[in-house]
Amino acid sequence: MTSGLANGGGAGAGKVSLRLQYYVVLAGVAVVVVVACLKYTPAAAVAAVGYGFWGGGGPQHQQGAAASGVAVAGSAAVAAAAATTTTSPGSSAPARSPVVIFNFGDSNSDTGGMAAAMGLNIALPEGRTYFRRPTGRLSDGRLVIDFICESLNTPHLSPYMKALGSDFSNGVNFAIGGSTATPGGSSFSLDVQLHQFLFFRTRSIELINQGVRTPIDRDGFRNAIYTIDIGQNDLSAYLHLPYDQVLAKIPPIVAHIKYAIEALYGHGARKFWVHGTGALGCLPQKLAIPRDDDSDLDGNGCLKTYNDVARSFNVQLAAACRQLRQRMADAAVVFTDMRAIKYDLVANHTRYGIETPLMACCGHGGPPYNYNHFKMCMSAEMELCDTDAKFASWDGVHYTEAANAVVAAKVLTGEYSTPPVRIASLVNSTIANDG
């Protein structure tokens, strides 16, 4: 039995060689327990966010400048985003971005909301690859929603909770790490995010009626794309249960997402882009849970049962979207199967430039998963992969910039979507519902 850790010139085994140099970050200053988070969020939701502890001010490991062309191009996008300003009423207004996105979700699409809401000082290495600074995203770089924004030539979304430096002229990101679709399952569950949107919209309309220019105008709300990516934390809270019992938990979760879409529709939303949940059984966080034997592992090293749960969730969410399309004939409701995309990323990882699909870049314990629930990324004892190592998982729960780029590219093809349309086609459509 060969381990991938060939020392020296392993005969032909180099393909699996882990170009991984572990080193321990000695967290310098205080380790802050996220009490606020723990106080309101059930343990399982916190686990799904990925962190219990934050190391502050430790040595920052910026190994070399692994800048890719993509990163440079993206920096320009960020600069452009920063340059965009909201104008005061009466001034001659610059052209509005034709693309407006309102995003709802959890850490998979949180662009800094949880950090802003909780006042968390998220430090490097978070953000090390692309932004070169921590932005509150739980990744070394960009998230799928960031790549979606870039593909639509619109700036990255500002988090609703971020008081300074936010620009809401191209939409708002209501997603918060740890969030559940189930009300009360987390402090910023989907119903709270929905109410935040309604607050934002109502206040905007009030101001518009007073003749004030708002970041989003009436057309902006009507033509916006409403993106939703939530459910992973709900499912994660139940995965320890027997399979049948987990399946029984799915319908109410899906019902909450469906309800949110109906409520948004009731307030004028017409374009919905809904992500299913990912391949949960391929996450290092799940794989690192002690098991009696490997009988549940599939040919790609993922847990079959957890991926079956994800598949079942997505089938039901897709069915809910189908019902909504029938009921809301003047709306577009597009469902995208993230499990299929993320499983393909694992199964065919070499084709996508990923060398290590099932091990966390930032975690603890080394191979096979480098994940320890009590010594997670950002804890004092984290072990971090090289900046040029090709990992799919950043911290055992969230993906790396490299993996998110692959996932986003597949999302953007529309091939994993029902109906099979590209998100770009929603931007200028007055409404296309053919499905």
Ligand X SMILES: *[C@@H]1O[C@H](CO)[C@@H](O)[C@H](O)[C@H]1NC(C)=O
Identify which range of 23-31, 229-237, 397-405, 424-432 contacts ligand X by CB under 6 A.
424-432
427 lies in the binding site for ligand X (CB under 6 A): yes
147 lies in the binding site for ligand X (CB under 6 A): no
419 lies in the binding site for ligand X (CB under 6 A): no
Catalytic residue among 97, 107, 158, 236: 107
337 lies in the binding site for ligand X (CB under 6 A): no
Give SS3 for 424: helix
**CA dist., res. 140 & res. 391, Å (int):** 11
Give SS3 for 408: helix
Report yes or no: 340 and 347 within 8 Å, Cβ to Cβ. Answer: no
By CB under 6 A, the count of residues binding ligand X is 9
348 lies in the binding site for ligand X (CB under 6 A): yes
Beta bridge partners of 418: 335
**CA dist., res. 283 & res. 207, Å (int):** 45
**CA dist., res. 250 & res. 247, Å (int):** 5
Instruction: For the segment 73-132, give every residue that binds ligand X (CB under 6 A).
Output: 98
Task: Write the secondary structure of 129-159 as one string of H (helix), E (strand) and C (coil).
Answer: CCCCCCCCCCCCCCCHHHHHHHHCCCCCCCE
Q: Residue 271 CB, nearest distance to ligand X (Å)?
A: 12
Pick the closer one to ligand X by CB: 31 or 424: 424
Measured at CB, which residue is nearest to ligand X?
344
**CA dist., res. 135 & res. 427, Å (int):** 27
Q: Residue 91 CB, nearest distance to ligand X (Å)?
A: 24
343 lies in the binding site for ligand X (CB under 6 A): yes
Identify which range of 206-214, 317-325, 340-348, 376-384 contacts ligand X by CB under 6 A.
340-348
Pull the structure tokens for residue 284: 């290092």
127 class by beta-carbon count within 10 Å (0-12 exposed, 13-18 middle, 19+ buried): buried
Q: Residue 346 CB, nearest distance to ligand X (Å)?
A: 8
* Nearest Cα residue to 261 out of 235, 224, 226, 222: 226
Q: Let me know if 395 is a catalytic residue.
A: yes
Pick the closer one to ligand X by CB: 65 or 95: 95
**CA dist., res. 13 & res. 309, Å (int):** 34
Catalytic residue among 256, 349, 364, 398: 398
The correct pick among 21, 202, 413, 428 for binding ligand X (CB under 6 A) is 428
Beta bridge partners of 133: none
Pull the structure tokens for residue 64: 């070399």
Catalytic residue among 110, 337, 386, 395: 395
Identify which range of 13-21, 24-32, 71-79, 421-429 contacts ligand X by CB under 6 A.
421-429
Pick the closer one to ligand X by CB: 121 or 429: 429
* Nearest Cα residue to 288 out of 297, 300, 278, 275: 297
347 lies in the binding site for ligand X (CB under 6 A): yes
Buried b (16+ CB within 10 A) or exposed e, 45-83: bbbbbbbbbbbeebeeeeeeeeeeebbeebeebbeebee
Instruction: Mention every residue, 6+ apart, whose C-beta is less than 8 A from residue 116.
Output: 136, 159, 161, 162, 163
The correct pick among 344, 355, 386, 395 for binding ligand X (CB under 6 A) is 344
150 lies in the binding site for ligand X (CB under 6 A): no
* 275 phi/psi in degrees, rounded to 5: -95, 135
Q: Let me know if 61 is a catalytic residue.
A: no
Pick the closer one to ligand X by CB: 380 or 424: 424
How far is residue 141 from each of residues 18, 40, 101, measured CA to CA in Å? 21, 28, 20
Q: Residue 408 CB, nearest distance to ligand X (Å)?
A: 15
Pick the closer one to ligand X by CB: 106 or 344: 344
Pick the closer one to ligand X by CB: 95 or 329: 95
Instruction: For the segment 22-61, give every residue that binds ligand X (CB under 6 A).
Output: none
424 lies in the binding site for ligand X (CB under 6 A): yes
Q: Residue 313 CB, nearest distance to ligand X (Å)?
A: 18
Q: Let me know if 398 is a catalytic residue.
A: yes
301 lies in the binding site for ligand X (CB under 6 A): no
Q: Measured at the alpha carbon of residue 318, what is the angle toward residues 314 and 320, in degrees to the nearest 5?
A: 115
Pick the closer one to ligand X by CB: 149 or 235: 149
Pick the closer one to ligand X by CB: 31 or 347: 347
Cis peptide before 368 (omega within 30 of 0): yes
16 lies in the binding site for ligand X (CB under 6 A): no
**CA dist., res. 423 & res. 411, Å (int):** 8
Could you list the residues that contact ligand X (CB under 6 A)?
A: 98, 152, 343-344, 347-348, 424, 427-428
Residues annotated as catalytic are 107, 395, 398
